[in-house]
Structure 1
């Protein structure tokens, strides 16, 4: 419960910034009525123990708007915040209202794949572009690809396959696998197994709401694997890491995705030190765009950005580049789609472009949790595992 309390503080800090940015866009509605504004529906969970992830996502996009003086492609930007509450039926209702009542031009955001799956059809069938800044399920990367859908994150399988390759490279023969029981969890297992060729000694699926892992930790101890592979986002990750350390299991290498990251480290702290993760981005990446982003984000919000924030920041920069390329003409959908495909912006990740299915082609890294000289915790890149990686479903996409 300590982790949940800390995330509440972060959420409050982020909330303070939202009115400031929205205030900067006052009058955007009037400008838009004159054909000079753009309205964005920003979907970010703000309810429950996973709110820290939504706060990161939201604040990353807002930081992008700060760097762009509240404009996208020269058009005044107006944000319509949407809390999906991590409930698909709620997400659909709120997104439909944003489309039909608020007349948003673009829908951006989404942390969890089950929420993305719920809103995909309502958004794209309305002719509106949907840009996911985190959720990247395989279902929309292959045969389910959509001309109105883009993601600035990854295909779910990819990040997990990085850890599968890392486990293979480390010579691990027997690995215990544990993930939440939903689409992204299943994608995690598939991704890990795609590159790990050893034995999976057990494959455990837990509810997305689980916070007590004592039974599962006992199984891990009894199995005596060479390593654990786990994907436990948000509150699940906070509790698992703390309980894993307390159970005396830290001697078993902790290989994870979206379990130890900047959204959870403020609550995990020393319990996560030395634990591994895989990612396409980390705060310590050395390029001009990332240095500026991390510095100004921390100054704005008082905490270290996670990939949720970085990918959302890139989405703001992507939209800015595309809208500018079409001269602010949001009505020309085909031209705007081509401008989005061009991805003509400087990513905080460095190398970035879209594949044929509108999923990124990018590098992936093995990272490790470290404590900074200022006492804050962050993940840091150790080595590049995959270079300019194309997700495994792209070949199945037949973009209509």
Structure 2
């Protein structure tokens, strides 16, 4: 009898609980939209970058700057709470593809950003854009994706590889160097580097040298370029490759003897390791911490205070990516369900770039300038000093090959 009474009491409690749950669900269906927005789960944004190994500092700068922008906006972009799901591609295209698939299929992200190296970008670009997920790159800019291989679902806040090095070729020409050697690692961005440099360099290319990705020893190549006796050498060695090359170039007694011009070799991620070793080098860069604009001034101050280092171009471009997304989400009031509307909001977004004036070309790459930035002596051992623009905003020829709606 007691068991029977207990059963009936338990049954009444279960029935009441179900009625209460039904009432709550019915009430929620008629709740104001503002209440729904307040209780909304965060918008998931995927971040893929090279976060480990000799080049890990590049991806870390991208990630840190992106998160700084979100922190400054109270954990939101466009007034919408966001959750960033971070993935390390380890500079391996197959790992990058796995990370992209996880973000799309398991994490259900609406936007993916970051991407440090071009070989990874070439591998993940189609899987992401074919899935209709918006990809906003903040560093890697393979030339094919700026031309015939462009996609309406891919944007960049950096540059395409060709134009990055076209500026380097123009700088070498402006400096009057008639005979040069160019060196780069043998992967997509390295080959783009040489092609871009040759396009705007007006002198004679004595030799073009390709080395292995993450090669630690350049003594044989340095001996080879000494024998060539060029007026100057142009190199593209991002991350740890740049640290090793510049140290060995200095040890060989060449820095100051054969002028060194570089892109993405001596930058905010490598100068702390090089210090005075790099003094005297000349760089071509889309960004420098001493650029004179209000947005950059507050960014450098905030980044330096939080991370105890100066931001690099990788950080600057990723900070711009966060502010681009913020502006677009503001326009669509946080609604990401209509991809076409969101894409149009990104294309026309207005925000203050740390690089100065910013706008997209028809291929959805920036129309932004490049600067001559020298490495000079400073109290910390070395610092960057902007000497002025190399090229102003101009339309890159690759944009004409891009056909999209």
TM-score by length of 2: 0.89
Q: What's 2:320 paired with?
A: 314
Alignment of 1:1-400 (within 5 A): 35=40, 37-250=42-255, 251-373=257-379, 375=380, 377-400=382-405
- Cα distance in 2 for partners of 1:309, 1:167 equals 26
- Cα distance in 1 for partners of 2:385, 2:140 equals 22
Give 5+ residue unaligned stretches, structure 1.
1-30
Deviation at 1:286, TM superposition (A): 1.1
Contact 2:184/2:236 (<8 A) preserved? yes
- Cα distance in 1 for partners of 2:129, 2:385 equals 36
Deviation at 1:328, TM superposition (A): 0.8
Deviation at 1:388, TM superposition (A): 0.9
- Cα distance in 2 for partners of 1:93, 1:131 equals 18
- Cα distance in 1 for partners of 2:274, 2:47 equals 28
The 3 A distance-change label for structure 1 pair 67 and 265 is: same
Deviation at 1:360, TM superposition (A): 0.2
Larger radius of gyration: 2
The 3 A distance-change label for structure 1 pair 167 and 82 is: same
Please state whether the residue corresponding to 2:309 is helix, strand or coil.
Answer: coil
Give 5+ residue unaligned stretches, structure 2.
1-35
Deviation at 1:213, TM superposition (A): 0.3
Contact 1:141/1:155 (<8 A) preserved? yes
- Cα distance in 2 for partners of 1:200, 1:144 equals 29
- Write out per-residue CA displacement over residues 240-296 of structure 1, whole angstroms, 9 at most, x where no aligned residue: 000000001111110110000010111111111120111111100111100000000
- Cα distance in 2 for partners of 1:56, 1:359 equals 21
- Write out per-residue CA displacement over residues 205-230 of structure 1, whole angstroms, 9 at most, x where no aligned residue: 00102110000000111111000011
Please state whether the residue corresponding to 1:389 is helix, strand or coil.
Answer: coil
Deviates more, 1:59-68 or 1:234-243: 59-68
Contact 1:44/1:83 (<8 A) preserved? yes
Contact 1:262/1:377 (<8 A) preserved? no
Superposition RMSD in Å: 1.4
Contact 1:255/1:276 (<8 A) preserved? yes
What number of residue pairs does the alignment pair up? 369
Deviation at 1:121, TM superposition (A): 1.1
- Write out per-residue CA displacement over residues 172-194 of structure 1, whole angstroms, 9 at most, x where no aligned residue: 11001110001101111111111
Moved over 4 A (4+): 31-36
- Cα distance in 2 for partners of 1:279, 1:303 equals 18
- Cα distance in 2 for partners of 1:99, 1:199 equals 47
- Cα distance in 1 for partners of 2:342, 2:377 equals 43
- Write out per-residue CA displacement over residues 78-130 of structure 1, whole angstroms, 9 at most, x where no aligned residue: 01010001111111112101111111111000110011111111111111100
Contact 2:276/2:381 (<8 A) preserved? no
Deviation at 1:391, TM superposition (A): 2.0
- Cα distance in 2 for partners of 1:32, 1:133 equals 29
Please state whether the residue corresponding to 1:274 is helix, strand or coil.
Answer: coil
TM-score by length of 1: 0.90
